[in-house]
Structures are given as C-alpha cells and as structure tokens.
C-alpha cells in the first residue's frame, strides 16, 4: 500500500508540473530575428501607399516582375494575435532600384509602375497581406523584402524576408549575420505557384513573432 501511495504521489507531482508548465511552454513561439532597416527606407512617401505594390494609382500598366502575394500573422510569444499594428514593406524593383531614396545610379532605369513601398494594418486575427513582386538581387544582396512593424505599445521592429532556394542566401552578410540557424530559417520563406489566387502568381507566408 505504501509503495502504491508513493507512486501516486510522484505521478501527481509530475501531472501538476506538466499542467503548470506544459501549455505555457508549448505556446512559447521563438521570436523573429531583428534585422537592419538598411539605407533604403524611403526618404519621402508616394501618395499611394496601400498594400498593392504592383498597381500604382493613376498608372495604366502594372509593375514588371512576377506578382507575389506575401501574407502572414503578427503574433506575440504566446501565440496571441497583435491586431491594429502597422506593417510596412519596401523593396527594390525588378531592375534592382529602390524608390524614394537618394539614388543617382544611371546604369538601370527605375520601374515607375512599381510602388516600391506599401503599408497595411493587421486585422483582428493579426493577419496582414501584400501584393508585390518577387524580390530580386542587387549588387551585394540576395533577394529580400524589408519589413517594419509599429503600433500603440509596440517598439518599432524591423526585419527582412528572404526567398527559399536562392543561391545568394549563403553569401548574404545580413542574412548570415543571424548566427542561429533556426533563427535564420525563420526569415526564409518558400514561394509557391498560386494560380488559385491569381494567374502567374507566387505566394508565401511570413509570420512575425515579436519577442
């Protein structure tokens, strides 16, 4: 009887420990690594700053490049949605040129039909979505999209999203500056064909966890 009672006591402690620690541990999401905003954050903003960077208001032609839908959720470490936050993205156009920055390059033209910068607000589920182009490389960098998150009670957070399978990823100093392989992997997103959304379109999911 004593042996059985002791076994039950030990099991009770173990179950209690699991109930106190288990759910909290399971919901601890690893944070998205912070990355530099880089030198190409816009110095001024266009009149059109919505979440569709492919179509610019007042222009008859879409941006050049492969249309890409990027969506995801903004979460806290416990997995709770962060609603009402502003999510910004900016990236170079198909010619490797950033818009609304101090850039006197003349070797490649700017695609005037690409918005270059966009923003949106997360919904009640913490979700955001953008319609943009597949990022392309430019000298010294692998393809990437810059992200910034801000809002009431939030410290401004910047990071970058990369494309899975890009050969330049392994040589990109900013990406490889994330020393933890698991953290680095959280910045790399597979892009899949998504004809169910739009013809000739790619799609990827980039969830952002604020630590």
At 74, list the tokens. 């903004």
Half-sphere exposure of 112 (CA within 13 A, CB side): 4
Mean pLDDT, rounded, for 42-58: 94
Domain with 101 in it: 31-209
Residue 160 above 60 pLDDT? yes
pLDDT of residue 27: 62
- Kindly tell me the sign of the dihedral angle through the C-alpha atoms of 86, 91, 97, 101: positive
At 81, list the tokens. 């949605």
Residue entry with tokens 């850039």: 103
How far does Cα 206 stand from its chain's mean position? 5
Among 62, 122, 50, 127, which residue's Cα sits nearest to residue 93? 62
Shared-domain flag, residues 3 and 86: no
Shared-domain flag, residues 10 and 54: no
pLDDT of residue 105: 80
**Local confidence band at 6 (pLDDT 50, 70, 90 cut-offs):** very low
18-22, 32-36, 43-47, 149-153: which range is least confident on average? Answer: 18-22
User: Within the chain, where are the H helices?
Assistant: 2-26, 173-176, 181-185
Main-chain phi, psi angles of 185, to 5 degrees = -65, -30
- Tally of structural domains, the chain: 2
Shared-domain flag, residues 94 and 121: yes
Residue entry with tokens 């050969």: 167
Based on its alpha-carbon atoms, the radius of gyration of the chain, rounded to whole angstroms, reads 22
Beta bridge partners of 186: none
Shared-domain flag, residues 91 and 14: no
Shared-domain flag, residues 18 and 55: no
Quote the mean pLDDT of the chain.
Answer: 89
Residue 42 above 70 pLDDT? yes
Residue 111 above 50 pLDDT? yes
What digits encode the pLDDT tens for the residues 69-100? 999 999 999 999 999 999 999 999 999 999 99
Shared-domain flag, residues 3 and 91: no
Q: Could you give the 3-state DSSP secondary structure of residue 169?
A: helix
pLDDT of residue 194: 98
Q: What CATH number does the domain containing 121 carry?
A: 2.60.130.10
Mean pLDDT, rounded, for 155-159: 98
Q: Could you give the 3-state DSSP secondary structure of residue 142?
A: coil
Shared-domain flag, residues 144 and 75: yes
Shared-domain flag, residues 180 and 142: yes
Shared-domain flag, residues 17 and 109: no
pTM of structure: 0.86
């Amino acid at each position: 009887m004593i042996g059985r009672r002791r076994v039950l006591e030990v099991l009770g402690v173990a179950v209690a420990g699991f109930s106190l620690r288990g759910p909290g541990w399971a919901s601890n999401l690893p944070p998205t690594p912070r990355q530099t905003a880089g030198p190409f954050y816009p110095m001024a903003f266009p009149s059109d700053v919505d979440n569709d960077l492919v179509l610019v208001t007042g222009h008859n032609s879409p941006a050049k490049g492969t249309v890409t839908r990027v969506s995801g959720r903004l979460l806290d470490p416990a997995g709770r949605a962060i609603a009402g936050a502003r999510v910004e993205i900016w990236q170079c156009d198909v010619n490797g040129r950033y818009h609304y920055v101090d850039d006197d390059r003349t070797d490649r033209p700017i695609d005037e039909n690409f918005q270059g910068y966009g923003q949106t607000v997360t919904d009640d589920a913490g979700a955001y979505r953008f319609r943009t182009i597949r990022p392309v490389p430019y000298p010294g960098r692998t393809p990437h999209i810059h992200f910034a998150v801000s809002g009431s009670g939030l410290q401004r957070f910047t990071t970058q999203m990369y494309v899975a399978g890009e050969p330049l990823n392994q040589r990109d100093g900013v990406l490889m500056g994330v020393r933890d392989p698991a953290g680095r992997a959280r910045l790399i997103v597979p892009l899949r064909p998504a004809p169910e959304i739009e013809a000739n379109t790619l799609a990827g999911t980039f969830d952002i966890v604020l630590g």
